[in-house]
């Protein structure tokens, strides 16, 4: 198949719409549903990310995409008991690829609502069973077991989008796009991200453990397929905060940092001990937790809205308790798709437990950024490579 007609483009008024190849066959097969224009943009961007993560680490990888940027990405390492609880994966049988998706989805469950899932490996029954419980628009993977495909075909009243991609497909070396009737052309971004990018450590502290190297690679690869400007926080083989599409670097760092803080707060004993009403939907539980850990919760308590969600009136998580809990964060890695222009980015990252940083370098204020890292004993590597994606 060289062409696939779509219902419409980004918006319903944008017709006609299609995806096609000038030469050869499309490397994708739609196994179920009718994916749209944005679905395929998410699918193809997310597939590039998980394919690159698998190549760089040798581990199964997954991503949860929304609006052509990852809400989360992760490697297929085992889930801890706490992770199973905060990702709503208690009672699920898990495989390495299922663990990867559960963690990718769990990084920012609010932003992953209605996501596009991407898997580096064949989708198995364990992954499909977890996906069946989530609000999701579709999935791309190099293959599906019979059991997994049967489960996914029951989702969204039989309309769940399931796309299979040829894992051996390689894009043309030159890519072309049209904006406002004008043709743009550039070389495909085939820059390989590997551990050699982390060799130029410019700080006094040069101790970069293997686990941190893994996390920094995950961060950089995630940034390569995230709409710029972007900053990404990573811990234990999964993103915990992605700040995408901001015009200001510090706003990226703050946005990603606030998501990392929320990820940490979800593990607070008060959050783990929340008693929800019976049969509450997973999205409603996500929303309730997000409100509970926010500064708005005491207002909600005053309004009495808590009865719609909780069996017992929860004790508020105070600002002091949140600050103390977040202060326990450590061993976090952060990457930036372009240089940090000021030390304020390091100051903000440090508040979310960041101890390792990878960024291109090249700012006229590099000395200030390095000095700020040295002030806190943070390890920073200059990669020398910008990772813009638009």
Active site residues: 66-67, 229, 390
Half-sphere exposure of 21 (CA within 13 A, CB side): 12
Is the CA virtual torsion 370, 366, 334, 294 positive or negative? positive
C-alpha 150/C-alpha 122 separation (Å) is 14
C-alpha 112/C-alpha 271 separation (Å) is 20
C-alpha 193/C-alpha 115 separation (Å) is 26
Residue 326's φ and ψ, nearest 5 degrees, are -65, -30
Q: Which tokens go with 16? A: 């006609």
Q: What is the CA radius of gyration of the chain?
A: 21
C-alpha 268/C-alpha 282 separation (Å) is 19
Is residue 264 within 8 Å of 86, Cβ to Cβ?
A: no
C-alpha 70/C-alpha 156 separation (Å) is 22
- Per the DSSP assignment, residues forming a β-bridge with 19 are 4
Residue 9 DSSP class:
S
């Amino acid at each position: 198949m060289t062409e696939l007609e779509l219902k419409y483009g980004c918006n319903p008024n944008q017709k006609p719409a299609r995806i096609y190849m000038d030469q050869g066959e499309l490397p994708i097969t739609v196994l179920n549903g009718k994916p749209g224009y944005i679905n395929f943009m998410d699918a193809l961007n997310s597939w590039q990310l998980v394919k690159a993560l698998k190549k760089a680490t040798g581990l199964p990888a997954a991503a949860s995409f929304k609006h052509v940027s990852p809400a989360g990405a992760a490697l297929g390492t085992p889930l801890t008991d706490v992770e199973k609880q905060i990702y709503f994966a208690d009672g699920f049988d898990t495989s390495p690829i299922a663990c990867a998706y559960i963690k990718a989805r769990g990084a920012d469950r609010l932003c992953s609502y209605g996501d596009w899932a991407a898997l580096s490996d064949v989708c198995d029954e364990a992954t499909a069973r977890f996906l069946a419980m989530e609000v999701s628009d579709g999935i791309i993977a190099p293959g599906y077991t019979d059991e997994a495909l049967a489960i996914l075909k029951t989702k969204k009243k039989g309309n769940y989008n399931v796309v299979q991609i040829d894992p051996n497909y390689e894009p043309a070396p030159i890519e072309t796009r049209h904006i406002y009737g004008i043709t743009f052309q550039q070389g495909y971004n085939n820059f390989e991200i590997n551990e050699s990018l982390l060799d130029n450590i410019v700080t006094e502290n040069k101790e970069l453990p293997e686990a941190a190297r893994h996390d920094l690679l995950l961060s950089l690869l995630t940034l390569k397929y995230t709409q710029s400007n972007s900053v990404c926080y990573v811990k234990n083989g999964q993103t915990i905060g992605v700040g995408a599409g901001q015009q200001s670097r510090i706003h990226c760092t703050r946005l990603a940092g606030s998501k990392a803080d929320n990820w940490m707060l979800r593990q607070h004993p008060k959050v783990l001990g929340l008693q929800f009403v019976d049969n509450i939907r997973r999205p409603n539980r996500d929303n309730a937790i997000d409100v509970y850990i926010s500064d708005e919760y005491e207002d909600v308590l005053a309004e009495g809205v808590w009865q719609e969600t909780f069996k017992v009136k929860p004790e508020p998580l105070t600002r002091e308790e949140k600050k103390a809990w977040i202060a326990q964060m450590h061993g976090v890695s952060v990457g930036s798709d372009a240089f940090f222009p000021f030390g304020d980015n390091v100051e903000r990252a440090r508040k979310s437990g960041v101890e390792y940083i990878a960024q291109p370098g090249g700012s006229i204020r590099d000395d200030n950024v390095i000095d700020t890292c040295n002030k806190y004993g943070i390890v920073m590597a200059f990669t020398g490579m910008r990772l813009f994606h638009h």
